[in-house]
């Protein structure tokens, strides 16, 4: 299962049009939303064959270049992964470092947290994995 650009050992994988990295997708939407420059579906429509199986880290790189060209810099990001399994804590530092590298920020600017569904609902029943992200950006030009 790929989360935050890191392949985690797991007996299941996520299904999506691209590589289905829900954490990077949430981060893309947070960054685009903070700059009012659209959303992931506008930049990478699932109707475009080029986006089938696309690496989400590559998508995030393009978004970062796009917002920097528009005069924004990333101050920090806060991310939450909602998954019953795999356990995220043993991989949180690797995910943090992966995201920091993609964003070209220090790891201290990336927060990774995880929540389980405690056996309730689609998350708790291991039917789904979800992510939420918030991004703080600064207009530099």
The 8-class DSSP code of residue 84 comes to S
**Separation between Cα atoms, residue 100 and residue 80, nearest integer Å:** 15
Go through the domains of the chain in sequence order and give each one's CATH number.
Answer: 2-139 (3.30.1330.50)
pTM of the model: 0.91
Q: What is the pLDDT, as a whole number, of residue 122? A: 93
Tens digits of pLDDT across the chain (141 residues): 789 999 887 777 766 777 889 999 999 999 999 999 999 999 998 888 887 878 899 999 999 999 999 999 999 999 999 998 898 899 999 999 999 999 999 999 999 999 998 989 998 988 889 999 999 999 998
Q: What is the pLDDT, as a whole number, of residue 14? A: 64
For 137, the token pair is: 């950006």
Q: What is the pLDDT, as a whole number, of residue 63? A: 97
DSSP letters spanning 85-140: SS-SGGGHHHHHHHHHHHHTS-GGGEEEEEE--TT-HHHHTTS--EEEEEEEEEE-
């Amino acid at each position: 299962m790929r989360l935050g650009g890191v392949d985690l050992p797991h007996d299941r994988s996520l299904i999506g049009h691209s590589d289905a990295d829900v954490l990077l997708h949430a981060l893309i939407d947070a960054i685009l939303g903070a700059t009012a420059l659209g959303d992931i579906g506008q930049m990478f429509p699932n109707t475009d064959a080029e986006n089938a199986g696309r690496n989400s880290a590559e998508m995030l790189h393009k978004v970062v270049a796009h917002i920097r060209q528009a005069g924004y810099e990333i101050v920090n990001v806060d991310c939450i992964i909602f998954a019953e399994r795999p356990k995220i804590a043993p991989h949180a530092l690797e995910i943090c470092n992966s995201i920091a590298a993609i964003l070209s920020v220090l790891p201290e600017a990336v927060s990774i947290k995880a929540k389980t569904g405690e056996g309730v609902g689609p998350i708790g029943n291991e039917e789904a994995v979800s992510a939420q992200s918030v991004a703080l950006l600064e207009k530099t030009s």
